[in-house]
Amino acid sequence: DGGITQSPKYLFRKEGQNVTLSCEQNLNHDAMYWYRQDPGQGLRLIYYSQIVNDFQKGDIAEGYSVSREKKESFPLTVTSAQKNPTAFYLCAISSTGGHEQFFGPGTRLTVL
Amino acid sequence: GQQVMQIPQYQHVQEGEDFTTYCNSSTTLSNIQWYKQRPGGHPVFLIQLVKSGEVKKQKRLTFQFGEAKKNSSLHITATQTTDVGTYFCAGPSNGGYQKVTFGIGTKLQVIP
């Protein structure tokens, strides 16, 4: 939505390779999130960050890593340790103290 | 842990019929949000309910928050093909500042 960008829209990788998905926002929001969505499934939280240089594991953090070096950026690395990496990855933000989630357009990752 | 259950998982309706999706939480919620995800798109925030027994309307959509703040519903009057998509509810997660737990979603198909 609006000032949240994720690129690329589609990404293909070979099995065993690490891949980094980008998420950038220009809305000056503190909280950023990464979700994974599988076909016909809900949204599962991977990692979230409430402030620069701090992040917390979500429900399915194994095989993923993140960094939050800048307020506007929250990249997600899908490592080779993630057993089923093919999925739709969504980045979201929320304003300070709020729970409403505003999502980016997402990246569809396919691991061959 | 906290669970947010949503029913039904799928619903097919004739255009012009009404539609309702229900959301139930295992714990009392301070607020509840509703989102819509169009096919191939990303979830879009629709509304947040905060008060016990609250009812809010957006054109043909009516959102209710239960008196006990553990359940919620979304009702669409006279569905249109533009209503097609998956509707998610979400509530604040236990033990996590600004974390939310999403329901599995209700996928709505509207038959013209």
Does residue B73 belong to the interface with chain A, where contact is any CB pair within 8 Å? no
Question: What would the mean pLDDT of A41-60 be, rounded to a whole number?
Answer: 93
SS3 readout for chain B: CCCEEEECCEEEEECCCCEEEEEEECCCCCCEEEEEECCCCCEEEEEEECCCCCEEEECCEEEEECCCCCEEEEEECCCCHHHCEEEEEEEECCCCCCCEEECCCEEEEEEC
Environment class of B34 (CB within 10 Å of its CB; exposed 0-12, middle 13-18, buried 19+):
buried
Q: Quick one: tokens of A95?
A: 């304003």
The answer, yes or no, to whether residue A4 has pLDDT greater than 80, is yes
Question: Within the 78-107 window of chain A, which residues sit less than 8 Å (CB to CB) from chain B?
Answer: 90, 94, 97-106
Q: Is the dihedral of CA B20, B39, B100, A110 positive or negative?
A: positive
The band of A41, judged by pLDDT with boundaries at 50, 70 and 90, is confident
| pLDDT given at position B98 | 81
The answer, yes or no, to whether residue A99 has pLDDT greater than 90, is no
φ and ψ at residue B85, rounded to 5 degrees: 155, -170
| pLDDT given at position B94 | 75
Higher per-residue pLDDT: B96 or B110: B110
The band of A22, judged by pLDDT with boundaries at 50, 70 and 90, is very high
DSSP category for residue A73 = B
Does residue B61 belong to the interface with chain A, where contact is any CB pair within 8 Å? no
| pLDDT given at position A106 | 97
- Are A16 and A36 in contact by the 8 Å Cβ rule? The answer is no
The band of B46, judged by pLDDT with boundaries at 50, 70 and 90, is very high
Across the beta sheet with B71-76, the strand order is B4-7, B19-25, B71-76, B61-65, B55-58
Shortest CA gap A63–chain B (Å): 20
Question: What would the mean pLDDT of B36-50 be, rounded to a whole number?
Answer: 96
pLDDT digits 0-9 by tens, B9-33:
999 999 999 999 999 999 999 999 9
| pLDDT given at position B95 | 66
Question: In 3D, which of B98, B97, B101 has the Cα closest to residue B35?
Answer: B101
pLDDT digits 0-9 by tens, B70-95:
999 999 999 999 999 999 999 998 76
pLDDT digits 0-9 by tens, B52-66:
999 999 999 999 999
- The Cβ-side half-sphere exposure at B56, using a 13 Å CA radius, reads 14
Chain-wide mean pLDDT for chain A?
Answer: 93
The one-letter amino acid at B106: T
Question: Distance between CA B30 and CA A55 in Å, rounded?
Answer: 24
- The Cβ-side half-sphere exposure at B104, using a 13 Å CA radius, reads 10
| pLDDT given at position B20 | 98
Given an 8 Å threshold on Cβ–Cβ distance, is A101 in contact with B90? Answer: yes
Given an 8 Å threshold on Cβ–Cβ distance, is A103 in contact with B107? Answer: no
Given an 8 Å threshold on Cβ–Cβ distance, is B45 in contact with A56? Answer: no
Question: Distance between CA A43 and CA A65 in Å, rounded?
Answer: 18
The band of B96, judged by pLDDT with boundaries at 50, 70 and 90, is low
Given an 8 Å threshold on Cβ–Cβ distance, is A99 in contact with B104? Answer: no
Q: Which of A42, A58, A90 sits opposite B104 (nearest CB)?
A: A42
pLDDT digits 0-9 by tens, A72-93:
999 999 999 898 999 999 999 9
Please provide the size of chain A in residues.
Answer: 112
Question: What would the mean pLDDT of A30-49 be, rounded to a whole number?
Answer: 92
Does residue B98 belong to the interface with chain A, where contact is any CB pair within 8 Å? yes
Question: Distance between CA A94 and CA A10 in Å, rounded?
Answer: 24
